[in-house]
Amino acid sequence: MTLYAYLSVDPDGKKIRGKMDAANLMELELRLKRMDLDLIDFKEKTEKNFSFGRVKISRKDLINFCFHMEQMTSAGVPILEGLTDLHDSTENRNFRGIVADLIENIEGGSPLSEAMARYPKIFSKTFTSLITTGEQTGKISDVFKSLGESLKWQDELTAQTKKIIMYPIFVGAIVTGVTFFLMIYLVPQLTGFIKNMGQELPMHTKLLIFVSGLFINYWYIALTAPVLIWVFGIMLLKRSPAARYMADGYKLRIWLIGPVLHKIILSRFVTFFALMYESGITILDCIRLSEDIVSNEVIAQGLRRAGVLISEGQSVTGAFQSIGIFPPLVISMLKIGEATGSLDIALRNVSYFYNRDIKEMIEKVQAMIEPVMTVVLGLLLGWIMMSVMGPIYDTISKMKT
């Protein structure tokens, strides 16, 4: 966004000066015109780095966008007028600039879907494909409504997933801090006293002294190594498809977390597949667009194989059963949906069952993670206490005898 200092004139001929953020000069003129002001002169004051490809747009912005456009289009308001009203009411300056660019492109003759396609990082292929279908069928209002509901579901799912992640991270940070304190400050003081007793130390005490020495002498490595490994891993995953495939496969096998993640991915897939199929998108296009939705190379590769089998004449049920990544529930529902001609309804039923199972599994996993982390912290403290107090107790026992 750019900050403009402008000079304008109102209908009475009075000159008005002011400052306003706008994506470009056209948006500045458009915004002033809505205020019944005519632009006379302007000057760019501050240019902020505003790259549409890297703009951070929250899911809440997209939900509001879909809800607003669904309400406008269902009331018979033209898309251009609906976008203009949204532009004036949007609080997010970045998203307001994008809406302004959508307005500009539509005024230039482009359909809404084509204008959205210029921002693939914000409006996914699935999003723009559904908008295209809505434009072609005249059901754009229904498409906006379905997209809004799907985005709300994703938002709720994300909030539930964070419940699993945040507690282990919080407890893990505490355990790490306690470990550093014990190994660098407390243990050296105690082990110095133990060594002065002059007796043979047990193996677990020697191990504690060795680990404490590593922390004292190489603490900077202990702090920087995880960060470097994380950065290296991210770079490797970006550059190597084989590494992404292995990592995504491992994610699905992680104890406790893997089954929940698998169901979340499949629930997201069947939800959007049903939405696209209901909107009139062909099955092969639904599968192709779903590859981006699942965000997992293992499942995406399976979908690609299913697409090939379907294009060769195999049934949808047979193709999905052959790739082996979908559980019997999905296969059964697909078979019923194909037989009755209501594939979208069958998939929505699958999504309903998955959503219920995901909530229950998240609650169970969260309930299991808390005691596991407590046990880890207890074992760490127990090892230190046994390694330190054990030799002291043995010395005191010998003195009594």
Q: What are the DSSP calls for 192-248, one per residue? A: HHHHTT--PPPHHHHHHHHHHHHHHHSHHHHHHHHHHHHHHHHHHHHH-HHHHHHHH
- Give ∠ CA 65-132-151 in degrees, rounded to 5: 35
Shared-domain flag, residues 266 and 372: yes
Residue 196 token pair:
């002065």
The predicted pLDDT at position 228 comes to 93
Residues 62 and 163 in one domain: no
Q: Is 170 in the same domain as 136?
A: no
| Structure token pair of residue 115 | 């204008």
Helices 283-294/125-137 angle, 10° precision: 150
Q: What value does the mean pLDDT take over residues 190-213?
A: 76
pLDDT over 90 (residue 205)? no
The reported pTM is 0.67
pLDDT at 50 over 60: no
Work out the pLDDT band at 53, boundaries 50, 70, 90: very low
39 burial via Cβ count (<10 Å: 0-12, 13-18, 19+): middle
Domain containing residue 79: CATH number:
1.20.81.30
pLDDT digit string (tens) for 246-260? 998 998 888 777 888
Q: Identify whether residues 40 and 67 lie together within a single domain.
A: no
Q: What radius of gyration, in Å, describes the C-alpha atoms of the chain?
A: 30
Q: What average pLDDT does this structure show over 37-44?
A: 82
Question: What is the residue range of 41's domain?
Answer: 2-50
How is residue 42 annotated by DSSP?
E
Predicted pLDDT at 49: 38
pLDDT in tens, 127-160: 888 898 888 888 889 889 888 888 888 888 777 7
Query: What is the C-alpha to C-alpha distance for residues 354 and 330, in angstroms, rounded to an integer?
Result: 10
Share of the chain above pLDDT 90, in %: 5
Per residue in 239-252, is it b (16+ CB within 10 Å) or e — as a string?
Answer: eeeeebbebbeebb
Q: Are 225 and 270 in the same domain?
A: yes
Boundary of a domain, candidates 114, 133, 151: 151
User: Please, which residues have CB within 8 angstroms of residue 173's CB and are 6 or more apart in sequence?
Assistant: none
Are 60 and 147 part of one and the same domain? yes
- Average pLDDT value over all residues in the chain: 81
Q: Which amino acid is at 185?
A: Y
Domain finish residue from 103, 120, 151: 151
DSSP H helices in 282-342:
283-294, 297-311, 316-323, 328-340
Q: Cα torsion at 381, 384, 385, 391 (round to 10°)?
A: 170
pLDDT of residue 197: 67
Q: Return d(Cα 296, Cα 251) in angstroms, integer.
A: 9
Paired strand residues for 201 = none
| Same domain, residue pair 143 and 170 | no
3-state secondary structure (DSSP) of residue 38: strand
Average pLDDT for residues 325-353, to the nearest whole number?
82
Residue 293's nearest CA partner among 313, 316, 274 is 274
Predicted pLDDT of residue 56: 65
Least confident residue range of 23-32, 141-150, 177-186: 23-32
pLDDT of residue 97: 80
**397 pLDDT exceeds 90?**
no
Do 168 and 81 share a domain, yes or no? no
Closest residue by Cα to residue 251 from 235, 233, 239: 233
Task: With a cut of 80, say whether residue 2 has pLDDT above it.
Answer: no
Pair 59, 46 in one domain: no
Q: How far is residue 90 CA from its own chain's centroid?
A: 23
Q: Which of 111, 136, 151 is the last residue of a domain?
A: 151
Q: Where does the pLDDT of residue 1 fall: very low under 50, low under 70, confident under 90, or very high at 90 and above? A: low
Query: Would you state the pLDDT for residue 398?
Result: 66
Residue 52 confidence (pLDDT) above 50? no
Query: Count of CB atoms within 10 A of residue 287's CB?
Result: 25
pLDDT tens-digit map of 268-296: 888 888 888 887 888 888 888 888 778 88
* Long-range contacts, 114-123 (Cβ 8 Å, 24+): 118/52, 119/52, 119/53, 119/55, 121/52, 121/53, 121/54, 121/55, 122/52, 122/55, 122/57, 122/62, 122/98
User: Could you give the number of structural domains in the chain?
Assistant: 3
Give the CA distances from residue 132 to residues 125, 136, 142, 145, 252, in Å, rounded to whole numbers and listed in that order: 10, 6, 12, 15, 34
Do 194 and 315 fall within a single domain?
yes
Q: What is the pLDDT of residue 199?
A: 66
Q: For residues 297 and 241, what is the distance between their CA atoms, to the nearest angstrom?
A: 8
* Model pLDDT for residues 63-107, shown as the tens digit of each residue: 999 999 999 999 888 898 899 888 888 878 788 888 888 888 888
**Quick one: which of 78, 34, 86 has its CA closest to 62?**
86
Residues 134 and 226 in one domain: no
Number of helices (H), then strands (E), belonging to the chain: the values are 17, 3
Tell me: do 138 and 202 sit in the same domain. Answer: no
